[in-house]
């Protein structure tokens, strides 16, 4: 009798829940598979869908690159999974990605996970479609014209020089990644939103911390309950909105001189006035938040990777300094040489250093789309309504266009590749109609940063090569502790 009771207890407490769990997983798989389009003969891509309702979101968030590499090795260039509440197909490889990026409005449409749409808002460029997206993009692109970029250079140089001077004066190590986020945030606040320098420095710390919290919870399960990721992300977002609302209201009533340069936010306001559209404060707050996110988070990631790769490859720093000397930015009278767009464009090797950094460590790992209709991709069906993630980092990794792809070799970009072969093998800024609007701005910021860094500093990575993670941009888990010292200009 006692043995019977023990067996019954064992069955109830361990075996029965396990059987129910396995049954739930099986039903989940059947439910997902039933989502395939019966009118399409092609099978669903290989892959697994993870736990019921949760899918594989937690694994992806916790493991990031390890999870993605394991999936790629097991299932190839196209596979199915379940992320952020939706069945998803992850796509990589130049030809596959080309079909996704050029299929905008025909096969797919941009659609970020529900948590991203909720936190950033419906009126942001990333969440708009059709004519509305085209008009807003056109207005923002004016802020990144050649003329506008020329106007930004002195501000960028001022902020970078101030940051570099602080690193050189530091007796202890500098945690590069947090420093980069603060530096790029100040630049974005001043250039994209038109904040005054004093106001930028006053609000900087609180706003950077709020952005940290918002970005950390940007990709989370779409459940808005106290202490959930979405709840914390929205709370941080609301704090950011409150901080920038006063600045927006000032811009709305401000009368501009015709010759006065306008920042990106002011251009959006003036565009609304010109088209007779209502000026919604909420819409402008969402746009300002998106500009700050896009304008500082990705450049901070890339600048950190630059410090890392150059710290590991002193021969690249030497060659870069030779180029700077040849262009009059090192050596006698270099202090009198003003930076401008034309000078920056002449720094070909320095540009290749940035390109190679973005090849190995693209700041954004990929982009989100949703299938507008069922279509076939490389022998597999992508059902209507499923999410599609095109992978930037994986596409770079698997490209045959880059020999010795594990090695940091900026000179590989000195020879111009044929347009057709390079177009979708190398996509650090995305592609198609939704290619990053701030691409040229990012290049200018990173080139100025490299000029100031190489002409002022030597540096040593105190922990050696760091482990890199993605969340949502690429960053070193140890924050890249680095010791900076003054560079003695031997070219004089």
Q: What are phi and psi of 83, to 5 degrees?
A: -130, 140
CATH of domain 35-115+146-197+299-486: 1.10.630.10
Exposure of 5 by Cβ count < 10 A (0-12 exposed, 13-18 middle, 19+ buried)?
Answer: exposed
Domains of the chain, by residue range, sit at 35-115+146-197+299-486
Question: Bridge-partner residues for 376, per DSSP?
Answer: 381
- Alpha-carbon dihedral of residues 352, 354, 360, 362, nearest 10 degrees? -140
What's the pLDDT tens digit per position in 8-45? 565 566 655 665 555 555 555 555 555 688 888 899 99
Q: What is the pLDDT of residue 7?
A: 63
Q: What is the pLDDT of residue 68?
A: 83
Please write the tens of the pLDDT for every residue from 396-436.
999 999 999 999 999 999 987 655 556 899 999 998 888 88
Of 453, 149, 155, 441, the closest CA to residue 329 belongs to 453
Residue 333 region by backbone torsions, left for phi larger than 0, else alpha for psi between -120 and 50, else beta: left
What's this model's pTM, rounded to 2 decimal places?
0.88
Pairing of strands 174-175, 86-91: unpaired
Provide the phi-psi class of 13: left if phi over 0, else alpha when psi is between -120 and 50, else beta: alpha
In which residue ranges of the chain is pLDDT below 70? 1-35, 255-260, 275-279, 332-337, 417-422, 491-492
Sign of CA dihedral 176, 156, 270, 146: negative
Q: How far apart are CA 281 and CA 269, in angstroms?
A: 10
């Amino acid at each position: 009798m006692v043995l019977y009771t023990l067996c019954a207890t064992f069955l109830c407490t361990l075996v029965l829940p396990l059987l129910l769990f396995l049954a739930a997983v099986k039903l989940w798989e059947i439910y997902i598979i039933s989502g395939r389009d019966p009118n399409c003969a092609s099978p669903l891509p290989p892959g697994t869908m993870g736990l019921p309702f949760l899918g594989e979101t937690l694994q992806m968030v916790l493991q990031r690159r390890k999870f993605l590499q394991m999936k790629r090795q097991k299932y190839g260039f196209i596979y199915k999974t379940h992320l952020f509440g939706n069945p998803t197909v992850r796509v990589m490889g130049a030809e596959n990605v080309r079909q996704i990026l050029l299929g905008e409005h025909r096969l797919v449409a941009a659609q970020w996970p529900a948590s991203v749409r909720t936190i950033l808002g419906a009126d942001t460029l990333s969440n708009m479609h059709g004519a509305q997206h085209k008009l807003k993009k056109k207005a923002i692109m004016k802020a990144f014209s050649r003329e506008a970029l020329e106007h930004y250079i002195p501000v960028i140089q001022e902020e970078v020089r101030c940051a570099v001077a602080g690193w050189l004066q530091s007796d202890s190590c500098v945690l590069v990644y947090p420093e980069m986020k603060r530096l790029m945030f100040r630049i974005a606040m001043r250039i994209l939103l038109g904040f005054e320098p004093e106001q930028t420095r006053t609000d900087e710390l609180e706003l950077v911390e709020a952005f940290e919290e918002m970005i950390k919870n940007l990709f989370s399960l779409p459940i808005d309950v106290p202490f959930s990721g979405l709840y914390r992300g929205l709370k941080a977002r609301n704090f950011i909105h409150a901080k920038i609302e006063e600045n927006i209201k000032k811009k709305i009533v401000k009368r501009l001189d015709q010759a006065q340069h306008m920042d990106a936010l002011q251009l959006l306001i003036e565009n609304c006035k010109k088209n007779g559209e209502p000026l919604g404060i909420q819409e402008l707050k969402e746009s300002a938040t998106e500009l700050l996110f896009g304008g500082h988070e990705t450049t901070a990631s890339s600048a950190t990777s630059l410090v890392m790769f150059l710290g590991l490859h002193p021969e690249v720093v030497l060659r870069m300094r030779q180029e700077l000397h040849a262009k009059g930015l090192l050596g006698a009278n270099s202090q009198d040489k003003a930076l401008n767009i034309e000078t920056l464009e002449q720094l070909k090797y320095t540009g290749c250093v940035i390109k190679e950094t973005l090849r190995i460590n693209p700041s954004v790992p990929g982009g989100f789309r949703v299938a507008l209709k069922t279509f076939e991709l490389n022998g597999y069906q992508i059902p209507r309504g499923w999410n599609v993630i095109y992978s930037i980092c994986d596409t770079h990794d698997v490209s045959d266009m880059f020999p010795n792809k594990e090695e940091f070799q900026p000179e590989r970009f000195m020879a111009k590749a044929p347009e057709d072969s390079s177009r979708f093998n190398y996509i650090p800024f995305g592609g198609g109609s939704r290619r990053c609007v701030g691409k040229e701005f990012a290049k200018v910021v990173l080139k100025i940063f490299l000029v100031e860094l190489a002409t002022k500093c030597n540096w040593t990575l105190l922990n050696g090569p760091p482990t890199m993670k993605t969340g949502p941009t690429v960053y070193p888990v140890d924050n890249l502790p680095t010791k900076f010292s003054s560079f003695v200009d031997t070219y004089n």
